[in-house]
Structure 1
Protein backbone atom coordinates (compact mmCIF):
# COMPACT_ATOMS: atom_id res chain seq x y z
CA UNK A 1 0.00 0.00 0.00
CA UNK A 2 1.48 3.33 -1.06
CA UNK A 3 1.65 6.47 1.03
CA UNK A 4 -1.31 8.11 -0.70
CA UNK A 5 -3.61 5.18 0.09
CA UNK A 6 -2.43 5.14 3.71
CA UNK A 7 -3.21 8.83 3.96
CA UNK A 8 -6.75 8.28 2.65
CA UNK A 9 -7.33 5.41 5.10
CA UNK A 10 -6.01 7.50 7.98
CA UNK A 11 -8.34 10.34 7.01
CA UNK A 12 -11.34 7.99 6.80
CA UNK A 13 -10.45 6.46 10.16
CA UNK A 14 -10.39 9.94 11.65
CA UNK A 15 -13.84 10.71 10.23
CA UNK A 16 -15.19 7.39 11.50
CA UNK A 17 -13.91 8.07 15.00
CA UNK A 18 -15.49 11.52 15.02
CA UNK A 19 -18.82 10.12 13.82
CA UNK A 20 -18.81 7.71 16.76
CA UNK A 21 -17.68 10.33 19.28
CA UNK A 22 -20.66 11.75 21.22
CA UNK A 23 -18.92 15.12 21.51
CA UNK A 24 -19.33 15.67 17.75
CA UNK A 25 -23.03 14.76 17.69
CA UNK A 26 -24.09 18.43 17.62
CA UNK A 27 -22.14 18.81 14.38
CA UNK A 28 -23.19 15.67 12.52
CA UNK A 29 -26.71 15.33 13.97
CA UNK A 30 -28.10 18.85 14.54
CA UNK A 31 -31.70 17.63 14.83
CA UNK A 32 -34.26 20.04 13.38
CA UNK A 33 -31.45 22.01 11.76
CA UNK A 34 -30.55 19.09 9.48
CA UNK A 35 -31.51 19.79 5.84
CA UNK A 36 -33.57 17.21 3.99
CA UNK A 37 -32.78 15.91 0.50
CA UNK A 38 -34.26 19.09 -1.00
CA UNK A 39 -32.20 21.35 1.24
CA UNK A 40 -35.13 22.40 3.43
CA UNK A 41 -34.78 22.65 7.21
CA UNK A 42 -37.39 22.65 9.94
CA UNK A 43 -35.70 25.36 12.00
CA UNK A 44 -33.42 28.17 10.88
CA UNK A 45 -30.91 30.39 12.67
CA UNK A 46 -33.67 32.84 13.62
CA UNK A 47 -34.78 30.39 16.32
CA UNK A 48 -31.24 30.24 17.68
CA UNK A 49 -31.04 34.04 17.74
CA UNK A 50 -34.31 34.15 19.66
CA UNK A 51 -32.93 31.72 22.23
CA UNK A 52 -29.56 33.45 22.49
CA UNK A 53 -30.54 37.11 22.33
CA UNK A 54 -34.29 37.38 22.76
CA UNK A 55 -34.96 35.14 25.73
CA UNK A 56 -37.15 36.30 28.60
CA UNK A 57 -34.25 36.08 31.05
CA UNK A 58 -31.60 38.81 30.82
CA UNK A 59 -28.66 36.37 30.72
CA UNK A 60 -28.02 33.54 28.27
CA UNK A 61 -25.16 31.13 28.94
CA UNK A 62 -23.67 29.19 26.04
CA UNK A 63 -21.72 26.33 27.61
CA UNK A 64 -18.95 25.21 25.27
CA UNK A 65 -17.12 23.06 27.80
CA UNK A 66 -18.15 19.86 26.00
CA UNK A 67 -16.85 21.02 22.63
CA UNK A 68 -13.72 19.14 21.49
CA UNK A 69 -10.62 21.30 21.78
CA UNK A 70 -9.83 21.03 18.07
CA UNK A 71 -13.18 22.69 17.29
CA UNK A 72 -13.30 25.22 20.13
CA UNK A 73 -11.86 28.16 18.22
CA UNK A 74 -13.96 27.56 15.11
CA UNK A 75 -17.22 26.99 17.00
CA UNK A 76 -16.80 29.94 19.36
CA UNK A 77 -15.82 32.18 16.45
CA UNK A 78 -18.83 31.06 14.42
CA UNK A 79 -21.22 31.74 17.30
CA UNK A 80 -19.78 35.21 17.81
CA UNK A 81 -19.90 35.90 14.08
CA UNK A 82 -23.57 34.91 13.85
CA UNK A 83 -24.58 37.14 16.77
CA UNK A 84 -22.46 40.11 15.72
CA UNK A 85 -23.48 40.07 12.06
CA UNK A 86 -27.16 39.62 12.89
CA UNK A 87 -27.25 42.53 15.34
CA UNK A 88 -25.16 44.69 13.02
CA UNK A 89 -27.34 44.23 9.94
CA UNK A 90 -30.50 44.42 12.01
CA UNK A 91 -29.41 47.47 13.99
CA UNK A 92 -32.41 49.52 12.86
CA UNK A 93 -34.91 46.84 13.92
CA UNK A 94 -36.48 46.67 17.38
CA UNK A 95 -34.50 43.49 18.07
CA UNK A 96 -31.25 44.90 16.66
CA UNK A 97 -28.24 45.93 18.66
CA UNK A 98 -29.08 49.62 18.92
CA UNK A 99 -32.56 49.00 20.32
CA UNK A 100 -31.66 45.87 22.30
CA UNK A 101 -27.99 46.21 23.34
CA UNK A 102 -26.05 43.07 24.13
CA UNK A 103 -22.98 42.48 26.29
CA UNK A 104 -20.96 39.45 25.19
CA UNK A 105 -18.84 38.05 28.04
CA UNK A 106 -16.14 35.55 27.10
CA UNK A 107 -15.11 33.32 30.00
CA UNK A 108 -11.58 31.86 29.83
CA UNK A 109 -10.96 34.11 26.85
CA UNK A 110 -7.33 33.02 26.51
CA UNK A 111 -8.51 29.65 25.21
CA UNK A 112 -9.70 31.12 21.90
CA UNK A 113 -8.17 34.60 21.71
CA UNK A 114 -4.49 33.80 21.76
CA UNK A 115 -2.08 36.51 20.69
CA UNK A 116 -0.99 36.31 17.07
CA UNK A 117 -3.77 34.01 15.90
CA UNK A 118 -5.79 34.92 12.83
CA UNK A 119 -8.73 32.64 13.63
CA UNK A 120 -12.38 33.50 13.06
CA UNK A 121 -12.90 34.01 16.79
CA UNK A 122 -9.97 36.42 17.02
CA UNK A 123 -11.09 38.41 13.98
CA UNK A 124 -14.69 38.62 15.18
CA UNK A 125 -13.74 39.68 18.71
CA UNK A 126 -11.44 42.35 17.29
CA UNK A 127 -14.36 43.68 15.24
CA UNK A 128 -16.62 43.73 18.30
CA UNK A 129 -13.93 45.40 20.42
CA UNK A 130 -13.23 48.09 17.82
CA UNK A 131 -16.68 48.82 16.42
CA UNK A 132 -19.29 46.90 18.40
CA UNK A 133 -20.22 49.60 20.90
CA UNK A 134 -21.73 51.95 18.33
CA UNK A 135 -23.95 49.10 17.15
CA UNK A 136 -25.02 48.13 20.68
CA UNK A 137 -22.69 45.16 21.15
CA UNK A 138 -20.34 45.30 24.12
CA UNK A 139 -17.51 42.94 25.03
CA UNK A 140 -16.26 41.59 28.35
CA UNK A 141 -13.15 39.42 28.56
CA UNK A 142 -12.55 37.18 31.57
CA UNK A 143 -9.17 35.48 31.85
CA UNK A 144 -6.53 34.35 34.30
CA UNK A 145 -3.81 34.71 31.67
CA UNK A 146 -3.94 38.23 30.24
CA UNK A 147 -0.47 37.83 28.74
CA UNK A 148 -1.89 35.28 26.28
CA UNK A 149 -4.58 37.63 24.98
CA UNK A 150 -4.28 39.58 21.77
CA UNK A 151 -2.96 43.05 22.62
CA UNK A 152 -5.23 44.73 20.07
CA UNK A 153 -8.32 43.36 21.80
CA UNK A 154 -7.02 44.12 25.29
CA UNK A 155 -6.21 47.72 24.37
CA UNK A 156 -9.84 48.27 23.35
CA UNK A 157 -11.18 47.40 26.80
CA UNK A 158 -12.62 50.60 28.27
CA UNK A 159 -12.77 49.30 31.84
CA UNK A 160 -10.26 46.99 33.49
CA UNK A 161 -10.92 44.99 36.66
CA UNK A 162 -7.72 43.32 37.83
CA UNK A 163 -7.55 40.94 40.77
CA UNK A 164 -4.43 39.63 42.49
CA UNK A 165 -1.75 38.96 39.93
CA UNK A 166 1.72 37.65 40.78
CA UNK A 167 3.04 36.93 37.31
CA UNK A 168 5.14 39.84 36.07
CA UNK A 169 4.37 39.05 32.42
CA UNK A 170 0.63 39.27 33.07
CA UNK A 171 1.05 42.54 34.96
CA UNK A 172 3.11 43.98 32.13
CA UNK A 173 0.35 43.10 29.67
CA UNK A 174 -2.25 44.85 31.80
CA UNK A 175 0.04 47.83 32.33
CA UNK A 176 0.35 48.37 28.57
CA UNK A 177 -3.45 48.55 28.25
CA UNK A 178 -3.87 51.25 30.92
CA UNK A 179 -3.39 54.99 30.77
CA UNK A 180 0.11 56.18 31.63
CA UNK A 181 -0.94 57.97 34.82
CA UNK A 182 -2.64 54.83 36.14
CA UNK A 183 0.10 52.32 35.45
CA UNK A 184 1.59 52.64 38.94
CA UNK A 185 -1.55 50.97 40.31
CA UNK A 186 -0.39 47.73 38.70
CA UNK A 187 2.32 47.50 41.37
CA UNK A 188 -0.44 46.90 43.93
CA UNK A 189 -1.75 43.74 42.26
CA UNK A 190 0.54 41.20 43.99
CA UNK A 191 -0.48 42.53 47.41
CA UNK A 192 -4.25 42.28 46.91
CA UNK A 193 -6.18 39.91 49.14
CA UNK A 194 -8.66 37.31 47.90
CA UNK A 195 -11.70 39.11 46.51
CA UNK A 196 -9.95 42.46 46.16
CA UNK A 197 -9.44 44.16 42.82
CA UNK A 198 -8.25 47.32 41.12
CA UNK A 199 -10.83 48.87 38.80
CA UNK A 200 -10.24 51.76 36.44
CA UNK A 201 -11.55 53.12 33.18
CA UNK A 202 -14.89 54.26 31.81
CA UNK A 203 -16.92 52.23 34.29
CA UNK A 204 -15.84 54.23 37.36
CA UNK A 205 -15.39 57.91 38.11
CA UNK A 206 -12.00 57.39 39.74
CA UNK A 207 -9.64 54.40 39.86
CA UNK A 208 -10.46 52.39 42.97
CA UNK A 209 -9.40 49.45 45.07
CA UNK A 210 -12.54 47.42 45.76
CA UNK A 211 -13.67 44.33 47.65
CA UNK A 212 -16.15 41.94 46.04
CA UNK A 213 -18.96 40.45 48.08
CA UNK A 214 -18.40 36.83 48.97
CA UNK A 215 -21.15 34.55 47.70
CA UNK A 216 -22.85 32.24 50.16
CA UNK A 217 -22.73 29.46 47.58
CA UNK A 218 -19.47 29.89 45.73
CA UNK A 219 -20.22 26.99 43.38
CA UNK A 220 -17.64 25.17 41.30
CA UNK A 221 -15.31 28.13 41.03
CA UNK A 222 -14.02 27.40 44.54
CA UNK A 223 -11.33 24.77 45.05
CA UNK A 224 -12.02 21.65 47.12
CA UNK A 225 -10.35 21.66 50.52
CA UNK A 226 -8.02 18.75 49.92
CA UNK A 227 -6.85 18.37 53.52
CA UNK A 228 -10.45 17.80 54.65
CA UNK A 229 -11.45 15.55 51.75
CA UNK A 230 -8.43 13.31 52.31
CA UNK A 231 -9.69 12.58 55.82
CA UNK A 232 -12.83 10.94 54.41
CA UNK A 233 -13.00 7.21 53.81
CA UNK A 234 -12.41 6.19 50.20
CA UNK A 235 -15.49 5.04 48.29
CA UNK A 236 -15.00 1.45 47.07
CA UNK A 237 -18.43 0.98 45.47
CA UNK A 238 -17.90 -0.26 41.90
CA UNK A 239 -21.26 1.17 40.78
CA UNK A 240 -20.04 4.66 41.59
CA UNK A 241 -17.07 4.19 39.29
CA UNK A 242 -19.33 2.80 36.56
CA UNK A 243 -21.32 6.01 36.83
CA UNK A 244 -18.08 7.98 36.69
CA UNK A 245 -17.18 6.19 33.47
CA UNK A 246 -20.60 6.94 31.94
CA UNK A 247 -20.25 10.63 32.79
CA UNK A 248 -16.91 10.68 31.03
CA UNK A 249 -18.06 8.78 27.95
CA UNK A 250 -21.30 10.74 27.58
CA UNK A 251 -19.60 14.05 28.40
CA UNK A 252 -22.34 14.88 30.91
CA UNK A 253 -21.93 16.04 34.49
CA UNK A 254 -23.76 14.44 37.38
CA UNK A 255 -26.47 16.90 38.29
CA UNK A 256 -26.81 16.05 41.96
CA UNK A 257 -24.45 15.62 44.88
CA UNK A 258 -24.07 12.29 46.57
CA UNK A 259 -23.53 11.99 50.28
CA UNK A 260 -22.81 8.31 50.27
Structure 2
Protein backbone atom coordinates (compact mmCIF):
# COMPACT_ATOMS: atom_id res chain seq x y z
CA UNK A 1 0.00 0.00 0.00
CA UNK A 2 2.92 2.36 0.70
CA UNK A 3 4.34 1.71 -2.78
CA UNK A 4 1.14 1.97 -4.85
CA UNK A 5 -1.29 3.99 -2.72
CA UNK A 6 1.03 6.54 -1.15
CA UNK A 7 -0.05 10.19 -1.09
CA UNK A 8 3.44 11.22 -2.26
CA UNK A 9 4.00 11.04 -6.04
CA UNK A 10 7.42 9.32 -5.98
CA UNK A 11 8.64 6.19 -4.19
CA UNK A 12 12.36 5.36 -4.24
CA UNK A 13 13.51 1.80 -3.59
CA UNK A 14 17.25 2.05 -2.87
CA UNK A 15 18.97 -1.27 -3.57
CA UNK A 16 22.53 0.10 -3.52
CA UNK A 17 23.37 -1.65 -0.24
CA UNK A 18 22.41 -5.10 -1.53
CA UNK A 19 25.27 -7.38 -2.69
CA UNK A 20 25.57 -7.43 -6.48
CA UNK A 21 25.17 -11.24 -6.54
CA UNK A 22 21.51 -11.00 -5.51
CA UNK A 23 20.58 -7.54 -6.86
CA UNK A 24 19.02 -9.06 -9.99
CA UNK A 25 16.84 -11.48 -7.97
CA UNK A 26 15.73 -8.83 -5.45
CA UNK A 27 14.96 -6.17 -8.06
CA UNK A 28 13.18 -8.71 -10.27
CA UNK A 29 11.02 -9.94 -7.40
CA UNK A 30 10.04 -6.40 -6.41
CA UNK A 31 9.16 -5.52 -10.01
CA UNK A 32 7.09 -8.71 -10.35
CA UNK A 33 5.14 -7.94 -7.17
CA UNK A 34 4.41 -4.36 -8.26
CA UNK A 35 3.46 -5.31 -11.82
CA UNK A 36 1.27 -8.24 -10.80
CA UNK A 37 -0.54 -6.03 -8.28
CA UNK A 38 -1.32 -3.39 -10.90
CA UNK A 39 -2.19 -6.04 -13.50
CA UNK A 40 -4.64 -8.09 -11.42
CA UNK A 41 -6.10 -5.00 -9.76
CA UNK A 42 -6.49 -3.21 -13.08
CA UNK A 43 -10.18 -2.40 -12.48
CA UNK A 44 -9.74 -1.15 -8.92
CA UNK A 45 -9.11 2.49 -7.96
CA UNK A 46 -5.43 1.74 -7.24
CA UNK A 47 -4.89 -0.50 -10.28
CA UNK A 48 -2.80 0.43 -13.28
CA UNK A 49 -5.69 1.77 -15.39
CA UNK A 50 -6.88 4.26 -12.77
CA UNK A 51 -3.51 4.99 -11.18
CA UNK A 52 -0.83 4.67 -13.88
CA UNK A 53 2.72 4.03 -12.67
CA UNK A 54 6.04 4.92 -14.29
CA UNK A 55 8.86 2.60 -13.19
CA UNK A 56 12.32 4.18 -13.50
CA UNK A 57 15.23 1.74 -13.54
CA UNK A 58 18.47 3.56 -12.72
CA UNK A 59 21.69 1.83 -13.87
CA UNK A 60 19.49 -0.59 -15.82
CA UNK A 61 22.46 -2.42 -17.37
CA UNK A 62 23.47 -3.80 -13.96
CA UNK A 63 20.40 -6.07 -13.72
CA UNK A 64 19.09 -6.18 -17.27
CA UNK A 65 21.99 -7.67 -19.18
CA UNK A 66 21.50 -8.99 -22.69
CA UNK A 67 21.17 -12.77 -22.90
CA UNK A 68 20.26 -13.25 -19.25
CA UNK A 69 17.14 -15.14 -18.24
CA UNK A 70 16.92 -13.85 -14.66
CA UNK A 71 13.63 -12.89 -13.02
CA UNK A 72 14.47 -9.20 -13.42
CA UNK A 73 15.15 -9.60 -17.14
CA UNK A 74 11.94 -11.60 -17.72
CA UNK A 75 9.82 -9.15 -15.73
CA UNK A 76 11.23 -6.06 -17.44
CA UNK A 77 10.64 -7.68 -20.84
CA UNK A 78 7.03 -8.36 -19.85
CA UNK A 79 6.50 -4.77 -18.70
CA UNK A 80 8.14 -3.39 -21.86
CA UNK A 81 5.90 -5.50 -24.11
CA UNK A 82 2.57 -5.38 -22.26
CA UNK A 83 2.79 -2.78 -19.48
CA UNK A 84 1.31 0.18 -21.34
CA UNK A 85 -2.03 -1.62 -21.79
CA UNK A 86 -2.31 -1.90 -18.01
CA UNK A 87 -1.03 1.55 -17.03
CA UNK A 88 2.59 0.58 -16.27
CA UNK A 89 5.32 2.58 -18.02
CA UNK A 90 9.05 1.91 -18.09
CA UNK A 91 11.99 4.33 -18.13
CA UNK A 92 15.44 2.78 -18.53
CA UNK A 93 18.47 4.86 -17.49
CA UNK A 94 21.90 3.53 -18.46
CA UNK A 95 25.35 4.59 -19.58
CA UNK A 96 25.87 1.32 -21.48
CA UNK A 97 22.96 0.69 -23.87
CA UNK A 98 24.99 -2.06 -25.60
CA UNK A 99 24.60 -4.20 -22.47
CA UNK A 100 20.80 -3.94 -22.42
CA UNK A 101 18.50 -6.58 -23.82
CA UNK A 102 17.67 -5.67 -27.44
CA UNK A 103 14.05 -6.82 -27.02
CA UNK A 104 13.49 -4.25 -24.27
CA UNK A 105 15.41 -1.51 -26.10
CA UNK A 106 13.30 -1.98 -29.24
CA UNK A 107 10.11 -1.42 -27.21
CA UNK A 108 11.15 2.06 -26.07
CA UNK A 109 8.75 4.65 -27.52
CA UNK A 110 11.07 7.60 -26.85
CA UNK A 111 14.87 7.71 -26.94
CA UNK A 112 16.93 10.38 -25.14
CA UNK A 113 20.61 9.95 -25.99
CA UNK A 114 23.39 12.11 -24.54
CA UNK A 115 27.02 12.22 -25.70
CA UNK A 116 28.22 8.74 -26.61
CA UNK A 117 31.71 7.92 -27.87
CA UNK A 118 31.61 4.13 -27.79
CA UNK A 119 30.81 2.77 -31.26
CA UNK A 120 29.18 -0.38 -29.84
CA UNK A 121 26.76 1.70 -27.75
CA UNK A 122 25.97 3.90 -30.76
CA UNK A 123 25.30 0.77 -32.81
CA UNK A 124 22.65 -0.31 -30.31
CA UNK A 125 21.01 3.11 -30.45
CA UNK A 126 21.13 3.05 -34.26
CA UNK A 127 19.35 -0.31 -34.34
CA UNK A 128 16.60 1.00 -32.05
CA UNK A 129 15.70 4.21 -33.95
CA UNK A 130 13.78 4.58 -37.20
CA UNK A 131 15.67 4.15 -40.48
CA UNK A 132 15.29 7.81 -41.47
CA UNK A 133 16.93 8.90 -38.19
CA UNK A 134 20.08 6.79 -38.54
CA UNK A 135 22.20 9.81 -39.50
CA UNK A 136 21.33 11.53 -36.20
CA UNK A 137 23.24 8.86 -34.29
CA UNK A 138 26.46 10.06 -35.94
CA UNK A 139 26.07 13.34 -34.02
CA UNK A 140 26.31 11.67 -30.60
CA UNK A 141 30.11 11.92 -30.15
CA UNK A 142 30.02 15.66 -30.91
CA UNK A 143 27.36 16.62 -28.34
CA UNK A 144 28.40 18.95 -25.53
CA UNK A 145 27.78 18.30 -21.83
CA UNK A 146 24.04 18.54 -21.16
CA UNK A 147 23.05 18.17 -24.83
CA UNK A 148 20.95 15.28 -26.08
CA UNK A 149 19.10 13.93 -29.09
CA UNK A 150 15.42 13.13 -28.50
CA UNK A 151 13.30 11.09 -30.88
CA UNK A 152 10.05 9.18 -30.59
CA UNK A 153 6.60 9.73 -29.14
CA UNK A 154 7.61 12.51 -26.72
CA UNK A 155 8.50 14.99 -29.49
CA UNK A 156 6.80 16.00 -32.74
CA UNK A 157 10.09 15.94 -34.64
CA UNK A 158 13.51 14.54 -33.67
CA UNK A 159 15.34 17.30 -31.82
CA UNK A 160 18.75 18.28 -30.49
CA UNK A 161 18.18 19.87 -27.07
CA UNK A 162 20.14 21.45 -24.24
CA UNK A 163 19.05 20.56 -20.70
CA UNK A 164 19.06 23.05 -17.85
CA UNK A 165 21.48 22.21 -15.06
CA UNK A 166 19.95 21.41 -11.68
CA UNK A 167 20.67 24.07 -9.06
CA UNK A 168 22.44 22.99 -5.86
CA UNK A 169 23.42 19.54 -7.12
CA UNK A 170 27.11 19.21 -6.11
CA UNK A 171 27.10 15.40 -6.20
CA UNK A 172 26.12 15.30 -9.86
CA UNK A 173 28.55 17.97 -11.06
CA UNK A 174 32.15 17.14 -11.92
CA UNK A 175 34.86 18.62 -9.67
CA UNK A 176 37.32 21.00 -11.32
CA UNK A 177 40.57 19.12 -10.71
CA UNK A 178 42.87 22.03 -11.57
CA UNK A 179 41.24 24.14 -8.83
CA UNK A 180 40.74 21.43 -6.19
CA UNK A 181 44.38 20.27 -6.35
CA UNK A 182 45.51 23.79 -5.38
CA UNK A 183 43.34 23.91 -2.24
CA UNK A 184 45.16 23.26 1.03
CA UNK A 185 43.69 20.85 3.63
CA UNK A 186 44.21 22.27 7.14
CA UNK A 187 43.71 19.07 9.15
CA UNK A 188 43.95 15.95 6.91
CA UNK A 189 43.70 13.53 9.85
CA UNK A 190 40.41 15.04 10.98
CA UNK A 191 39.05 14.91 7.44
CA UNK A 192 39.98 11.22 7.05
CA UNK A 193 38.23 10.42 10.34
CA UNK A 194 35.15 12.17 8.97
CA UNK A 195 35.48 10.14 5.77
CA UNK A 196 35.56 6.85 7.71
CA UNK A 197 32.58 7.88 9.82
CA UNK A 198 30.53 8.73 6.72
CA UNK A 199 31.64 5.49 5.04
CA UNK A 200 30.64 3.28 7.98
CA UNK A 201 27.31 4.99 8.47
CA UNK A 202 26.61 5.19 4.72
CA UNK A 203 25.67 8.83 5.21
CA UNK A 204 26.92 11.92 3.37
CA UNK A 205 25.77 14.33 6.07
CA UNK A 206 27.43 13.64 9.42
TM-score for both structures, normalised by structure 2: 0.94
Two-structure CA RMSD over aligned residues (Å): 1.5
- Aligned in 2, Cα 1:116/1:235: closer, same or farther, shift over 3 Å? farther
- Number of residues of Structure 1 aligned to a counterpart in Structure 2: 206
1:99 aligns with 2:66: no
Name which of structure 1's ranges 106-115 and 68-77 shifts more when overlaid on structure 2. 68-77
Give 3-state SS (helix, strand or coil) of 1:127's partner: helix
Stretches (4+) displaced over 6 A? none
1:152 aligns with 2:112: no
CA apart distance, 1:249: 3.3
1:136 aligns with 2:87: yes
Give 3-state SS (helix, strand or coil) of 2:26's partner: helix
Give 3-state SS (helix, strand or coil) of 2:178's partner: helix
Alignment partners' CA distance in 1, 2:118 and 2:204? 35
Q: Tell me what 2:114 maps to.
A: 163
CA apart distance, 1:244: 2.6
Give 3-state SS (helix, strand or coil) of 1:222's partner: coil
CA apart distance, 1:239: 4.5
Q: Tell me what 1:26 maps to.
A: none
Name which of structure 1's ranges 57-66 and 198-207 shifts more when overlaid on structure 2. 57-66
Q: Tell me what 2:158 maps to.
A: 207
CA apart distance, 1:53: 2.2
Give 3-state SS (helix, strand or coil) of 2:2's partner: helix
More helix by share: 1
Q: Tell me what 2:3 maps to.
A: 52
Residue among 107, 123, 129 paired with 1:178: 129
Alignment partners' CA distance in 2, 1:81 and 1:233? 51
Alignment partners' CA distance in 1, 2:37 and 2:69? 22
Alignment partners' CA distance in 2, 1:196 and 1:152? 27
Q: Is the 8 A contact 2:24 2:70 kept in 1?
A: yes
Runs of 5+ in structure 2 lacking a partner? none
> Quick check: which has more Rg, 1 or 2?
1
Q: Is the 8 A contact 2:79 2:90 kept in 1?
A: yes
Q: Tell me what 2:61 maps to.
A: 110
Residue among 175, 184, 197 paired with 1:224: 175
Give 3-state SS (helix, strand or coil) of 1:220's partner: coil
- Aligned in 2, Cα 1:240/1:98: closer, same or farther, shift over 3 Å? same
1:83 aligns with 2:34: yes
Give 3-state SS (helix, strand or coil) of 2:132's partner: helix
CA apart distance, 1:248: 2.8
What per-residue deviation string (whole Å, max 9, x for no partner) do you get for residues 144-199 of structure 1?
A: 11011110110000100111111111000000011111111111111111111111
TM-score for both structures, normalised by structure 1: 0.75
CA apart distance, 1:242: 3.3
